[in-house]
Amino acid sequence: MADQLTDDQISEFKEAFSLFDKDGDGCITTKELGTVMRSLGQNPTEAELQDMINEVDADGNGTIDFPEFLNLMARKMKDTDSEEELKEAFRVFDKDQNGFISAAELRHVMTNLGEKLTDEEVDEMIREADVDGDGQINYEEFVKVMMAKLLLLITFYRTPKWSWRTLEQWHDEPSPRKGLVGAINHVGRFDGLLLFSIEEAIEVLTSSALIFPSLSETLRMEMENSMDEKKKKKMKILCLHGFRTSGSFFKKQIGRWDPSIFAAFDLDFPDGIFPAGGKSDIEGLFPPPYFEWFQFNKGFTEYTNLEECITYLCDYIMTNGPFDGLLGFSQGATLSALLLGYQAQGKVLKDHPPLKFFVSISGSKFRDPSICDVAYKDPIKLKSVHFVGAKDWLKLRSEELASAFHNPLIIRHPQGHVVPRLDEEATRQLSDWTKGIIVEHGNGPVTSKAAET
């Protein structure tokens, strides 16, 4: 992983690492981690700090060395457009646009945030990031402190027991405890947020200020103007085709549905990992090549190359993601449900954000007890919709798969083992469901043509 980083990126991460590594011994200890966390207003116990260290401690020695830190950042860092976003965040503080944040500019921003600081408090916040000691903060210094503290959020705020406190709790704390990064954090709303990339963290910093009530209208407008088009990015769905077909064929099938249903999503249709090992049902209907994800026996109790397939898909998801949800037909739906169950149990995709939703068309559960006892051990708690055909030979098994999910939506159709053509009612149901996904997890309300009619 680390060999994919440039020398400049490695140097940048080294500087960020040094802000954690207070004694310069090349390792981040629980004590050093605690110091940084307390500067963020958190008060973790020693056991909680050790749990966080253990999350990324590859060699198990109880600390994080630079290679471990570097490998972790190589996996999580999304450097596309992040530099421009940091510049936008810097400009919010740099009122006169001279390339420096002065004490007066910092005081101005903090006043607009509802914080009245003494000169000593402002000077302390400046000193936190002022590496060259000139009494103000340049862009490079701003990036270093942002990288260090935001990487802390990315790295350690992944465990379910940790979440950001509300802004009201933050607001009640004495200002000197917050520091410059506290001021930056104050611009965002992190309550209950789990961050997985610096891109995501900065995105929240710039956007969430709009809902903070004590912002002046001027600063509110400044923050809104600092958001780039990435705030409007679509949610991403990985779409897995059926047995001995292809991604392009599945894309054509889904393309027959009302286009408004998935208008707010980006759909990715990869091909299966293995070439079809026999005759395809779509020969003569759609041109080859055809693919399959894994092989199985007649009773669907024994599987060949399944582990290789899972590894391939996890790598694909990490490389091409993050993804928000999965959509699958037949073998693709069955495989998607397995990935969701495995992720919920911590078996796969530990470094990927939790997948949020699932669309299953003629899917089924694996029959192997060694798989079932893990993947379907507990109800899978995410939003799911399941298409079940009245003439589908997998009808009962599709219903069984739906029962493995918490509060599933089942949409029935009169057809067989196919990607169904949706009638008006099915289109309305699916449109309402996807609209709910966007409202809950996306970037605001969407208009569904089907829902309006």
Which regions of the chain carry the CATH code 3.40.50.1820? Answer: 236-441
Residue 100 pairs in a beta bridge with: 138
Categorize the per-residue pLDDT at 97 as very low, low, confident or very high, splitting at 50, 70 and 90: confident
Categorize the per-residue pLDDT at 207 as very low, low, confident or very high, splitting at 50, 70 and 90: very low
Which regions of the chain carry the CATH code 1.10.238.10? Answer: 7-77, 80-156
Q: Assign residue 133 a region: left if phi > 0, alpha if psi is -120 to 50, beta otherwise?
A: left
Question: pLDDT tens digits, residue range 340-393?
Answer: 999 999 999 998 999 999 999 999 999 888 999 999 999 999 999 999 999 999
- Count of other CB atoms within 10 angstroms of residue 231: 12
Say whether pLDDT at 236 is over 70.
yes
Q: Are 443 and 231 in contact (CB under 8 A)?
A: yes
The predicted structure's pLDDT at residue 7: 77
Domain 80-156 is found in CATH 1.10.3720.10: no
List of long-range contacts for 37-46, beta carbons under 8 Å, 24+ apart:
37/152, 37/156, 38/177, 39/149, 39/177, 39/179, 39/181, 39/182, 40/149, 40/152, 40/181, 40/182, 40/185, 41/165, 41/170, 41/173, 41/177, 41/178, 41/182, 41/185
The predicted structure's pLDDT at residue 131: 67
Residue 195 CA to residue 202 CA, distance in Å, equals 10
Share of the chain above pLDDT 70, in %: 66
Q: What is the pTM of this model?
A: 0.52
Domain 236-441 is found in CATH 3.40.50.1820: yes
Categorize the per-residue pLDDT at 113 as very low, low, confident or very high, splitting at 50, 70 and 90: low
Residue 299 CA to residue 315 CA, distance in Å, equals 29
Say whether pLDDT at 196 is over 70.
no
Say whether pLDDT at 175 is over 60.
no
Say whether pLDDT at 34 is over 90.
no
Say whether pLDDT at 282 is over 70.
yes
Residue 249 pairs in a beta bridge with: none
Q: Are 103 and 83 in contact (CB under 8 A)?
A: no
Averaged pLDDT of the chain: 75
CATH code of the domain made up of 7-77: 1.10.238.10
The predicted structure's pLDDT at residue 409: 96
Higher pLDDT: 195 or 266? It is: 266
- Count of other CB atoms within 10 angstroms of residue 426: 18
Higher pLDDT: 393 or 201? It is: 393
Residue 52 CA to residue 62 CA, distance in Å, equals 10
Say whether pLDDT at 429 is over 90.
yes
For residue 289, say if its preceding peptide bond is cis, omega within 30 degrees of 0. yes
- Count of other CB atoms within 10 angstroms of residue 452: 8
Angle at 268 between CA 77 and CA 399, to 5 degrees: 115
Categorize the per-residue pLDDT at 84 as very low, low, confident or very high, splitting at 50, 70 and 90: low
Structure tokens at 55: 């999350």
The predicted structure's pLDDT at residue 364: 94
Say whether pLDDT at 41 is over 70.
no
Bridging pattern class, strands 137-138 and 100-101 = antiparallel
Residue 185 CA to residue 180 CA, distance in Å, equals 9
Higher pLDDT: 76 or 64? It is: 64
